[in-house]
Amino acid sequence: MPELPEVQTVVNSLKSHILNKSIFKIKIIDRSVIYNNYDNFHILINQKIINTFRIGKYIIIQLNNNYLAFHLRMTGYLYFSKKNITPKKHIRCYLQLNKNSFLIFEDIRRFGGFYILNDLSEIKNKIGVDPFDKRFSIDWLKIGLNNKKRQIKSLLLDQKFICGLGNIYIDEILWHSKILPLRKSNKIKYKEVKMLHLFIIKLLNDSIKHHGTTIINFKYDNMKTGNYKKKLKVYGRENKKCFRCNFLISKIKVAGRSTHICTNCQR
DNA sequence: ACGAATGTTGCGGG
DNA sequence: ACCCGCAACATTCG
């Protein structure tokens, strides 16, 4: 579920609670939550949290000597709590920061987890350009799209190309840009690239302002949900009227993912 | 009641 | 290079 705006929302909500606190205790309830280095996790004890930020869809927690890189995948929920409420069913691990401070990771489907890293190169090497990076320009996007012959939606889903977009925002961005998701990336015209570039930035920013989109599971802080769902134009609106032309929105599969389009005004 | 679907990613195979 | 299907897993929907 969580895409860039949801991940940013989580980072923003955690920051003031966890910054400058040290790790006092680590409880791993489900071993599969650590993507690497399982045996080493005790090295984190007594390290201080000196920063937290986002890279792509990763939540980075910077410590004195290491980084934790959390990925929420579909149903991850990372939040700060003043109480230890670990008997809850889907809690996979937690960090106790001090007597009344816990950083808790819940995950219903158990796909999420974190890496323990010495530096961020491993993460940076496996993802592409962030939409808020200076490198993300119209010309860069044009070259990147036209160098490949992939379905535009499939390419936008590829985190090695652009990191942070996912199924919901891609449907929304393509609707705003009036582009069908099945179009080949090398056939996208300059004018369309300009639209894509504009709406990628605009929709992500708008969504961050609304604390992201909650369809089913996404939560941040203490059970708060995102409000951007109200702004969605196509996602989840199959058989409803297109806000631009009143044609009925249809739902198809593209790149194996549910995809919402207006076949009248997207070309 | 049971198969399908759910916002993610990574892999193997054609 | 690119596309597809499947896998990981738990829950909900039709």
Say which residue the tokens 């951007």 belong to.
A228
From first to last of the 267 residues of chain A, give the pLDDT tens digit. 799 999 999 999 999 999 999 999 999 999 999 998 778 899 999 999 999 999 999 999 999 999 999 999 999 999 999 988 777 889 999 999 988 999 999 999 999 999 999 999 999 999 999 999 999 999 999 999 999 999 999 999 999 999 999 999 999 999 999 999 999 999 999 999 999 999 999 999 999 999 998 888 898 888 888 889 999 999 999 999 999 999 999 999 999 899 999 999 999
Catalytic one of A2, A5, A131, A181: A2
Residue A21 known to be catalytic: no
Residue A56 has a CB neighbour count (10 Å cut-off) of: 24
Looking across all nucleic acid strands, the nucleotide with the smallest C1' to CA distance from residue A155 is C2
pLDDT at residue A77 in the model: 95
pLDDT at residue A206 in the model: 96
d(CA A175, CA A266): 6
A90 CA vs C10 C1’ separation (Å):
10
A76 CA vs C9 C1’ separation (Å):
12
Whether A54 sits with its Cβ under 7 A from any strand B atom: the answer reads: no
A248 CA vs C8 C1’ separation (Å):
35
Token code pair at residue A239: 């058989």
pLDDT at residue A165 in the model: 96
d(CA A124, CA A116): 14
d(CA A248, CA A267): 15
Residue A257 known to be catalytic: yes
Catalytic one of A57, A142, A219, A237: A57
Residue A3 known to be catalytic: yes
Say which residue the tokens 């190309």 belong to.
A161
| A57 within 8 A of A6, measured Cβ to Cβ | no
Residue A30: phi and psi, rounded to 5, are -120, 110
Strand C: protein residues, Cβ closer than 7 A: A 73-74, 89-90, 108-111, 148-151, 154-155, 184, 255-256
Looking across all nucleic acid strands, the nucleotide with the smallest C1' to CA distance from residue A238 is B5
Residue A172 known to be catalytic: no
Structure letter (DSSP) for residue A109: S
Structure letter (DSSP) for residue A161: T
Q: Which domains does chain A have, with CATH numbers?
A: 4-124 (3.20.190.10), 138-261 (1.10.8.50)
Say which residue the tokens 């650590």 belong to.
A34
CA nearest to nucleotide C9 C1': residue: A109
pLDDT at residue A243 in the model: 96
d(CA A179, CA A267): 5
pLDDT tens for A181-229 read 999 999 999 999 999 999 999 999 999 999 998 888 898 888 888 889 9
Q: 3-state SS of A223-261? A: CECCEHHHHCCCCCCCCCECCCCCCECEEEEECCEEEEE
